[in-house]
Amino acid sequence: MKRSKKKIFKAAVLGDPIGHSLSPLLHQTWLQELGLLGEYKAVLVKAENFEIKISQLFADPDFVGANITLPHKQRALHCADQASPLAKKVGAANLLFRKNNTIIAENTDVFGFLDPLYQILDVQSLIGKTALVFGGGGAAKAVVFALCSSQIDHVFLCNRSQEKAETFFAEVQNPQTKLLHWDNRNQPPTAPDIVINASSAGMTGFAPLDINLAFCGPKTVVYDLVYQPIQTPLLQQAKEKNIAHLGGLDMLIAQASPSFHAFFGVKPPQTNLAKSILLVKIYAKQGGGQ
């Protein structure tokens, strides 16, 4: 449904931390390109205030929805009036939006994760393959669901804290998944075809992911969901070891596209302007370089 051009519809991204988020710049660029009125802000929300903040924001009739980022994606699923079948299956939501006076929880991370991967891999090429996924939060849930739905053979799940790893494994409940203890992270039982960092490690302000990619085979692809910095320590290591690799910026843009549509009633423009502006912003934050 296309929205009225006269009203200023409001949307936001909620998380903790949130200062790093590029979503406001991305959505504002798309709004400007399309000549639409609209507002998209970053809101810092502590875990204990999450539900109350959601109620406060949606109490404003002009508030059309929110993207949800770390660490709230799993709670977001439960504070909506309805969750989409996909968000329920994944067990996490990164999008809450208003539809006919109800708040719907959706997951666009699954699409956002697969879309850039399929730009470099054949859709068929995950069938029968093995993946190693680091992380145990909302992003890891979307990644594991996406991989298992792509008929991958095995997904090894590895999270730094063993307690969270076991809870995550139990929640995922999929026969394609196997738990790999953090202590064995450098010795997976087989060389994975794809290694995914779905943890916060390597993000600006977080310690790098402490792994040695020596276990990778000649055709392994390393996919880091982190997009700040663009060249994460993991991607740098992959580059040095001549391993094919992919960063998280294209996923950020791909997962934002259906959110923008849900908020403002139109698809974002199919130009590269927003990506160029995000890259300039990231490199400026890094103080030039790269």
Q: List contacts with ligand NDP (CB under 6 A).
A: 69-71, 73, 109, 112, 135-140, 159-161, 164, 198-201, 203, 206-207, 209, 225-227, 248, 251-252, 255
Candidates 140, 256, 267, 255; CA nearest to 199 is 140
Please say which residue, 181 or 219, places its beta carbon nearer to ligand NDP: 181
CA dihedral 51, 81, 73, 38 (to 10 degrees): -80
93: left (phi over 0), alpha (psi -120 to 50) or beta: beta
Q: Please give the C-alpha separations between residue 49 and each of 57, 105, 126, in angstroms, as whole numbers.
A: 12, 18, 40
Please say which residue, 102 or 167, places its beta carbon nearer to ligand NDP: 167
Active-site positions? Answer: 73
Provide the minimum distance between the beta carbon of 282 and ligand NDP in the complex, in angstroms, as a whole number.
12
Provide the minimum distance between the beta carbon of 112 and ligand NDP in the complex, in angstroms, as a whole number.
5
Please say which residue, 2 or 109, places its beta carbon nearer to ligand NDP: 109
Please say which residue, 143 or 216, places its beta carbon nearer to ligand NDP: 143
Helix axes 138-149, 162-172, angle to 10 degrees: 40
Provide the minimum distance between the beta carbon of 228 and ligand NDP in the complex, in angstroms, as a whole number.
8
Please say which residue, 3 or 20, places its beta carbon nearer to ligand NDP: 20
Length of the chain: 290
Q: How many CB atoms lie within 10 A of CB 123?
A: 10
Provide the minimum distance between the beta carbon of 177 and ligand NDP in the complex, in angstroms, as a whole number.
15
Provide the minimum distance between the beta carbon of 5 and ligand NDP in the complex, in angstroms, as a whole number.
29
Find the residue with minimal CB distance to ligand NDP: 137
CA 232 to chain centre: 16
Please say which residue, 91 or 136, places its beta carbon nearer to ligand NDP: 136
Provide the minimum distance between the beta carbon of 218 and ligand NDP in the complex, in angstroms, as a whole number.
26
